[in-house]
């Protein structure tokens, strides 16, 4: 009620201040009044954003007036208008700026009239789901500055190169060679210093680590070309390379900029939001409670956790009983019942009603806490796609420099000047573009394609690992099967009277079976139940028309799950439940097998349930493992090489990380991409097949680029050493070949 109270106050202030509150939020407000307190699942409570430590964490600036939200689903002009239109209608909202491409909203408030939680509430009410972003989770000022300086460098290169080329053209047409050569020299000065600076930096940093980077030939070309040209100028000859060199550097910068931009757009970590974020917890003090940040919890404090919330610490149960799901920890989807005094692990999700707990171990020291940390650490590690292709390019460059060196040594006797010229031509010509630009571009374009098809792929290395995959591990629950239970029998085979009884008994329950009953018998009416009782882990009971009924879990350990309806003490009906297989599951498995992949089922479920699924889906007995903990799953995977793990983004996170490719089939995109490289999302299991196809395509493209590059380098290199290609021509050929490869990659991956 505190929440609503403060809202009434706020609206009252707005109305008395003569401001018209936004219509949408007013009607929502009325709906809220009717619904009393918002239920935790339908509306997020953002009041935690107002606690001092959380505020400090999320505020962008020192004064704590600015915050940045990630808001999924900003796709149209309407959304932008809705959100930005809030400025002027909400008192205290100074600024709200939407950045559509990145799904961000930058908000600035006047903290004396509007708090972060207020504005988050308003955004939520408009139908968006704002996620506050801490520092480092969105493009920082540093990164913006870097982007800007890259653009400026590009512009300087373009201006200088453009003008130098017009001067060169004038010379060809018989202009004053001396004048234009010196003008070119002047214009080349910013190129050789400012524009080429990142190449020097990159080359030097790599050399210090005893590596040859792709920047080295650019740096050598830029400096040596400058040296040769200045030498020529001083001797009075006008044999200068300023035009081709500046054009060369400009084109390389363009290619890089395009590639980075594309990669950023499709690989941006900005979309990877942690779903496991536990921010706040209700701390019980006497008869009241208040929100406190999870980090502030200490042992012996009493906390209260509501239905559908996650237990934020290892804790002892104070309530008489609790039903919790350990799905995040074990993958077991069935709810488990604990009695008073039991120790509940952090990460367990409460299924039954609100429970009271005493903290034993704060989150940071729990298994769950360390799992979260590990997942987080992993996801922060850099995207390795570029480094990978850089290393491919290295051997080529290494050989080029070696050959150039040997050539100079051998040809020195004939003519030192000619030796240097030809070696220089070779270095300028030799193009590792296929690897350096073609490969990342091919991968980035595959990523784009994957995203269009509804697959979320985090980094481009996934395609390479997929290509190499030998063994695919699959989780059962939530991956091959749905997480919800469903009734085995057709609902119309169950007599209406029994349907009525069952539904009435289960009406208040939040057990998965109750949901299954509700969806199966959806068109039944309810009857009154007297002395209704639900005993967690056992079942429900009550009197209907003076007859005692119980619905209890079947004691038999059988493949699915079942429960039995008793009238008095006599069983009158047995219900069997199953979790159904996901759509297209079998055909995907068949096509993966046809690729010669070995498929292995890894499950935390009981042997019987796993055996049943294995039989249905064609797994042999040795390839179906049951009763595995997350750690055991991870160690099974680590015992193999070239592995792919397909599982739930949350409870399989460890296994997903340990596999060469982790593919999350469920569990929410945020959590999934923290631990997995791929999130199947809306494509479901069928996305697996797509993923394999895409990586085939990407690699045939990369092979084509490599072939082109090898032919170009061998032919061009030989001609250069034989003296048919001078450095001037080489400097023209090199960007042309890069451009050709980029173009062919782009064209082919569009098809």
d(CA 708, CA 741): 8
CB of 172 to other proteins, least distance (A): 16
Q: How far is the CB of 109 from other proteins (least distance, A)?
A: 14
Residue with smaller CB distance to other proteins, 165 or 455: 165
Minimum CB distance to other proteins, residue 152 (Å): 5
Distance, CA of 700 to CA of 463 (rounded, Å): 12
Least distance to other proteins from the beta carbon of 132, Å?
A: 20
CB 613 within 8 A of CB 480: yes
Q: How far apart are CA 478 and CA 245, in angstroms?
A: 57
Burial of 344 (0-12, 13-18, 19+ CB in 10 A): buried
Cβ within 8 Å of residue 368, ≥6 positions away? 328, 329, 345, 346, 347
Comparing CB distances to other proteins, the nearer of 110 and 176 is 176
* DSSP SS3 for 170: helix
Task: List contacts with other proteins (CB under 8 A).
Answer: 76-77, 80-81, 84-85, 87-88, 95, 98-102, 144, 147-148, 151-152, 155-156, 159, 162-163, 166, 176, 179, 183
Nearest distance, CB of residue 100 and other proteins, angstroms? 4
| Least Cβ distance, residue 40 to other proteins (angstroms) | 33
Q: How far is the CB of 187 from other proteins (least distance, A)?
A: 8
Nearest approach in angstroms of CB 99 to other proteins is 5
How far apart CA 181 and CA 583 sit, in angstroms, is: 69
Q: At what angle do helices 686-721 and 727-750 cross, to 10 degrees?
A: 160
What size, in residues, is the chain? Answer: 751
* C-alpha span between 479 and 435 (Å, rounded): 36
Report residue 358 as tokens: 């005493």
Residue among 64, 61, 53 nearest 141 (CA): 61
**156 versus 488: smaller Cβ distance to other proteins:** 156
Strand order in the sheet with 321-325: 336-339, 321-325, 349-350
Which one, 159 or 507, has the nearer CB to other proteins? Answer: 159
User: Min. distance of Cβ 144 from other proteins in angstroms?
Assistant: 6
Residues 600 and 619 sit within 8 Å (Cβ to Cβ): yes
> Is the CB of residue 427 less than 8 Å from the CB of residue 217?
yes
When the beta carbons of 79 and 393 are compared against other proteins, the nearer one is 79
Query: Token pair for residue 102?
Result: 């990145």
DSSP state string for 644-679: EEEEETTTTHHHHHHSSEEEEEES-HHHHHHH-SEE
Q: What are phi and psi of 462, to 5 degrees?
A: -50, -40
What's the min distance (Å) between Cβ of 110 and other proteins? 14
Shortest CB 145 distance to other proteins, Å: 10
Nearer to other proteins, 93 or 688 (CB): 93
Decide whether 109 or 344 has the Cβ nearer to other proteins: 109
Question: Which residue, 183 or 498, has its beta carbon nearer to other proteins?
Answer: 183
Cβ-contact 479, 647 below 8 angstroms: yes
Residue 165 or 465: which CB sits closer to other proteins? 165
Residues contacting 462, CB < 8 A, separation 6+: 661, 677, 678, 691, 695
CA dist 599 and 619 (Å) reads 7
Choice between 195 and 430, CB closer to other proteins: 195
What interhelical angle do 215-235 and 177-190 show, nearest 10? 150
Task: State which residue, 56 or 94, has the beta carbon closest to other proteins.
Answer: 94
Region label for 24, one of left (φ > 0), alpha (ψ between -120 and 50) or beta (otherwise): alpha
Shortest reach from residue 27's CB to other proteins, in Å: 21
Query: Smaller CB distance to other proteins: residue 104 or 441?
Result: 104
Distance CA 461, CA 680 (A): 16
Question: For residues 102 and 273, which CB has a smaller minimum distance to other proteins in the complex?
Answer: 102
Q: Measured from the CB of residue 148, what is the shortest distance to other proteins in angstroms? A: 5
Beta strands per DSSP E along 466-529:
471-475, 486-487
Q: Supply 431's token pair.
A: 């193009």
Distance CA 563, CA 569 (A): 14
């Amino acid at each position: 009620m505190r929440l609503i109270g403060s809202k009434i106050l706020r609206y009252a202030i707005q109305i008395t201040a003569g401001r018209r509150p936004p219509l949408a939020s007013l009607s929502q407000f009325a709906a809220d009044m009717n619904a009393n307190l918002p239920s935790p699942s339908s509306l997020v409570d953002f009041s935690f954003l107002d606690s001092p430590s959380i505020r400090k964490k999320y505020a962008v600036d020192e004064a704590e007036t600015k915050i940045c939200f990630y808001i999924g689903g900003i796709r149209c002009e309407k959304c932008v208008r809705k959100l930005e239109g809030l400025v002027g209608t909400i008192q205290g909202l100074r600024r709200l700026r939407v950045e559509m491409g990145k799904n961000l909203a930058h908000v600035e408030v006047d903290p004396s009239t509007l708090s972060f939680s207020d504005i988050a509430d308003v955004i939520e009410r408009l139908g968006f789901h704002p996620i506050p972003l801490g520092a480092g989770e969105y493009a920082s000022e540093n990164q913006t500055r870097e982007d800007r300086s890259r653009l400026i460098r590009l512009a300087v290169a373009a201006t200088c190169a453009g003008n130098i080329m017009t001067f060169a053209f004038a010379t060809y047409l018989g202009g004053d060679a001396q004048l234009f050569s010196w003008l070119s020299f002047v214009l080349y000065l910013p190129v050789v210093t400012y524009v080429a600076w990142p190449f020097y930096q990159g080359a030097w940093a790599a050399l210090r680590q005893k590596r040859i980077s792709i920047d080295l030939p650019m740096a050598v070309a830029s400096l040596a070309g400058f040296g040769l040209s200045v030498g020529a100028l001083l001797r009075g000859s006008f044999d200068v390379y300023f035009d081709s060199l500046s054009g060369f550097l400009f084109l390389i910068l363009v290619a890089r900029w395009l590639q980075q931009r594309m990669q950023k757009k499709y690989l941006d970590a900005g979309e990877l939001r942690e779903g496991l974020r536990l921010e706040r917890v209700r701390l019980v003090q006497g008869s009241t409670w208040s929100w406190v940040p999870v980090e502030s919890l200490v042992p012996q404090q009493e906390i209260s956790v509501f239905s559908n919330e996650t237990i934020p610490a290892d804790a002892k149960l104070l309530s008489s009983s609790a039903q919790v799901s350990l799905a995040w920890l074990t993958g077991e989807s069935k709810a488990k019942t604990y009695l008073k005094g039991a120790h509940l692990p952090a990460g367990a999700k409460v299924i039954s009603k609100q429970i009271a707990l005493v903290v034993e171990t704060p989150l940071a020291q729990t298994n769950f806490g360390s799992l979260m940390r590990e997942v987080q650490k992993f996801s922060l590690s850099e995207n390795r796609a570029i480094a990978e292709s850089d290393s491919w390019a290295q051997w080529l460059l290494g050989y080029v420099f070696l050959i150039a060196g040997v050539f100079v040594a051998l040809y020195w006797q004939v003519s030192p000047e000619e030796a240097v010229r030809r070696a220089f031509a070779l270095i300028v010509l030799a193009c590792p573009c296929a690897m350096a630009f073609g490969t990342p571009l091919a991968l980035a374009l595959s990523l784009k394609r994957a995203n269009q098809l509804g697959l979320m792929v985090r980094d481009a290395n996934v395609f390479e690992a997929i290509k190499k995959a030998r063994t695919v591990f699959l989780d059962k629950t939530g991956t091959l099967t749905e997480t919800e239970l469903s009734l085995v029998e057709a609902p119309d085979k169950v007599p209406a009277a029994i349907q009525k009884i069952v539904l009435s008994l289960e009406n208040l329950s939040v057990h998965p079976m109750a949901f299954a009953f509700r969806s199966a018998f959806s068109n039944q009416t309810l009857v009154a139940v007297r002395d209704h009782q639900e005993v967690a882990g056992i079942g429900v009971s009550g009197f209907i028309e003076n007859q005692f009924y119980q619905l209890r879990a079947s004691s038999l350990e059988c493949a699915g799950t079942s429960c039995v309806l008793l009238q008095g003490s006599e069983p009158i009906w047995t219900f069997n439940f199953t979790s159904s297989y996901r759509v297209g599951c079998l055909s995907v498995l068949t096509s993966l097998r046809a690729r010669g992949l070995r498929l292995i089922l890894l499950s935390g479920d009981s042997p019987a349930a796993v055996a049943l699924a294995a039989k249905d889906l064609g797994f042999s007995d040795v390839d179906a493992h049951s009763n595995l903990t997350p750690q055991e799953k991870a160690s099974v995977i680590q015992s193999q090489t070239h592995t792919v793990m397909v599982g739930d983004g949350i409870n399989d996170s460890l296994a997903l990380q340990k596999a060469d490719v982790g593919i999350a089939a469920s569990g929410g995109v945020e959590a999934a991409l923290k631990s997995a490289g791929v999130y199947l999302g809306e494509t479901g299991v069928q996305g697996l097949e797509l993923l394999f196809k895409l990586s085939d395509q990407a690699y045939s493209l990369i092979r084509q680029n490599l072939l082109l590059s090898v032919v170009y380098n061998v032919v061009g290199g030989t001609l250069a050493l034989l003296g048919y290609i001078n450095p001037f021509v080489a400097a023209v050929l090199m960007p042309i070949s890069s451009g050709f490869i980029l173009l062919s990659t782009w064209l082919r991956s569009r098809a």
